[in-house]
Structure 1
Amino acid sequence: MEFIDSHAHIYSEQFNDDREQAVAQASAEGVGKIYMPNIDHTSIDAMLAAEEKFPGQCIPMMGLHPTSVNRDFERELYLVEEWLNKREFAAIGECGIDLYWDKTLLQEQQEALKVQVALAKKHQLPLVLHTRDSFEETYAILAEAQDGSLQGIFHCFSGTVEQAEKVKELGFLMGIGGVATFKNGGLDKILPHVQLSDLVLETDCPYLAPVPHRGKRNQPAYLPLVGRRVAELMNKPVGEVAAVTSQNALRLFKL
């Protein structure tokens, strides 16, 4: 039984003291691959160092996180495009819109997302989308741009059944993580109404650790806890959850 962590910041400085141990623990728990979303120019070196240390296991994406979008975001996006022209990445990400922390840069975030959508089309790569307090704003851009070539993940999905249906109609997947294990996370009302074919699993480590580790540093080794909770909520065998979500991830991330 193999799981795939479709979204993990294993290169984070929070793993500087025990990254090798954390990756080994993930392997021991059946987590075969760890896909790493980029944040901005400050995270690239650490992310690529993790790839070099754990080849074939820690796999990088390239993108600009919405909370790193500022008034001169174009400079960051030039660097993203430079890297995409230089070598292969699994996806464009993590990109999107975040209206939880700051709403004043919505226009810049929208423009940065549109640029990255265009890059996804140009390089034929999936998108990994951050939509915190911004599902409708993000969805509107993707729906307008969708010409049949776009695919990807709505990372950390925690929306409504109606929004889940919109994601499916768009041809995208939903990333399910530790929130599924939270008592008031809301996914208990969503997951019974979707299909495993619509899902991938993720940790978003070091954030959003699942119960019983909530409030502590998250890590890829905890992904089976998410898988077991998804299996419980969807009334499926955990082996089926692992197999189908892993197949979905491998199909999406061609690397």
Structure 2
Amino acid sequence: MILTDTHTHLYSEAFDADRDEVIRNAIEKGIERFFIPAIDSTYTQAMFNLKNAFPEHMFLMMGLHPTHVKENYKEELKHVEEMLAAHKFYAVGEIGIDLYWDKSFLKLQQEAFRFQIRLAKQYKLPIVIHCREAFDEIFEVLEAEKGDDLFGIFHCFTGTLDQAHQAMTYNMKLGIGGVATFKNGKIDTFLNQIDLKNIVLETDSPYLAPVPYRGKRNESSYLIKILEKLSDIYTLNVAEIARVTTENSKQVFGV
């Protein structure tokens, strides 16, 4: 049984004390593929270090996270552009719009989102979307950019059933993580109405740890708890959930 964590920040400072142990523990549990989203240029070297340490298991993305779209965003986007031209990446991400913390950078976030979608199209890569309190704003951009060359993952999907269907019209699979195990997560109430072919698994570690680890540091090995939850939701055995969701990840990332 091979599992894929489609979204994990294993280069984060949260793992500085025990990174290798955390990764080996996940691999021992069958999680063999880790897709690593970018945040901004300050983490690029740490991402390359991670890839060099575990070359068979780590698949890097490149992008500018919406909460890191600040006054210097054009320099950051230039870095993204330069990295995509010089190195192999498997997606442009994580990118999108986040209005939870600060709405004052909305226009810049929209501009950065559009720019990076067009970069992804240029390199024939998927996008990995970060959306927080910004479904309408995200959908507005996707509607303008939709086409066969637009595809990817709606990371950490926490929307409604209608929003799930709308996301899928833009060739997006839904990234399902720890929120599916929360009592107030809500998505567990309708996920079985979405074909499993549209689902990929993720942890977003070190964030959003699933029950029973909620509130603690998340790890890729906890993907097992999300797998078990989806097994309950879809009334399928864990091996089948693992097989289908890993196949879905291969369709998105091409590897």
TM-score band w.r.t. shorter chain: over 0.9
Quick check: 1:181 aligned with 2:173? Answer: no
**1:22 correspondence with 2:25:** no
Structure 1 residue aligned with 2:82: 82
- Unaligned 5+ segments in structure 2 are none
Which residue identity is paired with 1:43? Answer: Y
For structure 1, the 5+ residue unaligned runs are none
Q: Distance in 1 between matches of 2:2 and 2:132?
A: 29
Q: Distance in 2 between matches of 1:21 and 1:84?
A: 30
**Structure 1: 4+ residue segments shifted above 2 A:** none
Residue 118 of structure 1 pairs with residue 118 of structure 2: yes
Code of the aligned partner of 1:168: M
Alignment TM-score, normalising by the size of structure 2 = 0.98
How far apart are residue 120 of structure 1 and its match? 0.6
| Partner residue, 2:233 | 233
Distance (whole Å) between structure 2 residues aligned to residue 237 and residue 187 of structure 1: 20
- Please report how far the alpha carbon of residue 230 of structure 1 lies from its aligned counterpart in structure 2 after TM superposition: 1.1
1:98 matched to 2:88? The reply is no
Partner Cα distance (1:169, 1:234) in 2: 22
The one-letter code of the counterpart of 2:29 is E
Q: TM-score scaled by structure 1?
A: 0.98
- Please tell me the residue identity of whatever aligns with 1:20: D
How far did 1:72 drift? 2.6
- Is contact 2:26–2:221 with CA below 8 Å preserved after alignment? yes
Distance of 2:35 and 2:235 partners within structure 1: 27
1:8 equivalent to 2:24? Answer no
The residue aligned with 2:219 is 219
Q: Is contact 2:147-2:170 (8 Å) kept?
A: no
Q: Distance in 1 between matches of 2:142 and 2:233?
A: 29
How many angstroms does 1:187 deviate by? Answer: 1.3
The DSSP-based 3-state class of the residue aligned with 1:131 is strand
Task: Determine helix, strand or coil for the equivalent of 1:59.
Answer: strand
Work out the percentage of aligned pairs sharing the same amino acid: 45
Q: Say if 2:43 is the partner of 1:66.
A: no
One-letter amino acid of the structure 2 residue matched with residue 51 of structure 1: K
Give the root-mean-square deviation of aligned CA atoms: 0.8
Q: Which amino acid aligns with 1:70?
A: K
- The residue number in structure 1 matching 2:204 is 204
Separation in 2, partners of 1:180, 1:130: 17
Q: CA deviation at 1:234?
A: 1.8
Indicate the residue corresponding to 2:146 in structure 1: 146
